[in-house]
């Protein structure tokens, strides 16, 4: 897993709001990456809705919030629409974003891929 002080990888992925390039934000705004296993599950829904409800706190520091999981854009869009998520959900079907940050993968019914990575301006 990424450690404090590690440089953030320059990832690119499709999202519910178009192509996201981390390089567009690196050095300019803090970034909060929320890795979660699946759309529409109770714990993941609560986690992402909590991020949505904390919008004002993220705005105080001009942070970009991005959700990431292996699901497809169609399901992400349905999930985002149903719960009024106003931040992009990135589709990571091959796990490239997850791997770039050293986040574990799904093991049976137990997930080790739930993580939050905060990237500072520097």
* Residues assigned a catalytic role: 44
Question: Shortest CA distance to 38 belongs to which of 71, 7, 64, 10?
Answer: 71
d(CA 93, CA 90): 9
29 contacts 63 by C-beta, under 8 angstroms: yes
- Chain-centre distance for alpha carbon 76: 12
Tell me whether strands 64-69 and 89-91 are parallel, antiparallel or unpaired: parallel
Which pair of tokens denotes residue 105? 């993968």
Distance separating alpha carbons of residues 21 and 53, to the nearest angstrom: 24
């Amino acid at each position: 897993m990424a450690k404090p002080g590690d440089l953030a990888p320059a990832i690119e992925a499709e999202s519910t709001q178009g192509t996201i390039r981390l390089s567009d934000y690196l050095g300019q705004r803090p970034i909060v990456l929320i890795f979660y296993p699946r759309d529409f599950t109770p714990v993941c829904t609560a986690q992402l809705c909590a991020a949505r409800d904390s919008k004002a706190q993220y705005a105080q520091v001009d942070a970009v919030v991005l959700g990431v999981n292996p699901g497809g854009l169609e399901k992400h869009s349905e999930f985002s629409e149903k719960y009024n998520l106003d931040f992009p959900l990135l589709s990571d079907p091959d796990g490239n974003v997850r791997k770039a940050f050293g986040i574990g993968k799904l093991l049976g019914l137990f997930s080790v891929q739930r993580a939050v990575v905060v990237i500072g301006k520097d």
